[in-house]
Amino acid sequence: MSRSFSSKSMFSGMMFGYETKSMINTISVNYANMSDVGVSITYDELKALTSIQTLYTAHLADKSYQNISIDFTKYLKLRSVANDSVLKYKKNEALSLLFQITVDAITGAINSYGLNTLNTETKIQNLYLQKTLEEIINGINVQTAFNENTGTLSMQQSFQLAPLFRYYIKLYGLPLSSVGFDPVKLALVLTAMENSGIDPYN
């Protein structure tokens, strides 16, 4: 069932007709078709763009580098779709440029993840060396077992966080009691310590 529409011009008083539209199926939308701006991409290409933005470029933009996806298989697939689209749409300069920017962005996101990991390792190594130097300067390894002039023995018990958590606090600050340690950042610190040959627990 269909119905024709018309409207009257407020300037000339003439009637203008519109195309016949179905009253049952009034709206037809192609999710990946942006025909209003003369652009048409496939559903898979649009899905790849969405995934790249969610998994990579959003974290690159807000500097949460540790949350960038490190699923290398997924990275290669998404980059391949974007790279193929650069060539596929080479006659459409704007669209080809959009996909080239996407290729550069996802590559930059992966590089940023690597640089952030390397930066974390460097910070941990510096903290470790600084602590070692302070211990040497303060003579922390020189201890007196007994003082012959004292008649009583004093004992004191102290608790220390494992190095893993101390380094985390040095890098990211003390977490809120209601939130706790961020597991992603904690894993990053753990990996950095292990790569630097530092025992995370002793």
pLDDT higher than 50, residue 29: no
Name every residue whose Cβ is closer than 8 Å to that of residue 10 and which is 6 or more positions away in sequence. none
Mark 167-197 as b/e (b = at least 16 C-beta within 10 Å).
bbeebbeeeeeeeeeeeebbebbeebbeeee
Return the residue matching tokens 């942006």: 34
pLDDT at 122 over 50: yes
Q: Which two tokens stand for residue 111?
A: 């590089």
Kindly report, residue by residue over 159-188, the tens digit of the pLDDT: 577 888 888 888 888 888 777 888 889 889
CA distance 117 to 121: 6
Residue 147: partners with Cβ closer than 8 Å, 6 or more residues away: none
**Residue 5: predicted pLDDT:** 47
Q: Is 82 helix (H, G, I), strand (E, B) or coil?
A: helix
How many CA within 13 A on the CB side of residue 17?
Answer: 5
Q: Between residues 92 and 14, which one has the greater pLDDT?
A: 92
The two counts, helices (H) then strands (E), for the chain are: 6, 4
Name the pLDDT band for 151 (thresholds 50, 70, 90): low
pLDDT score for 10: 45
Kindly give the pairing relationship between strand 2-8 and strand 15-22: antiparallel
Higher-pLDDT residue of 20 and 106 is 106
Q: How many Å apart are CA 53 and CA 61, to the nearest integer? A: 10
The overall average pLDDT reported for the chain is 78
148: its two tokens:
């012959």
Q: What pLDDT sits at residue 174?
A: 84
Q: Residue 18: its pLDDT value, please?
A: 46
CA–CA separation, 54 and 109 (whole Å): 12
How far is CA 84 from its chain centroid? Answer: 24
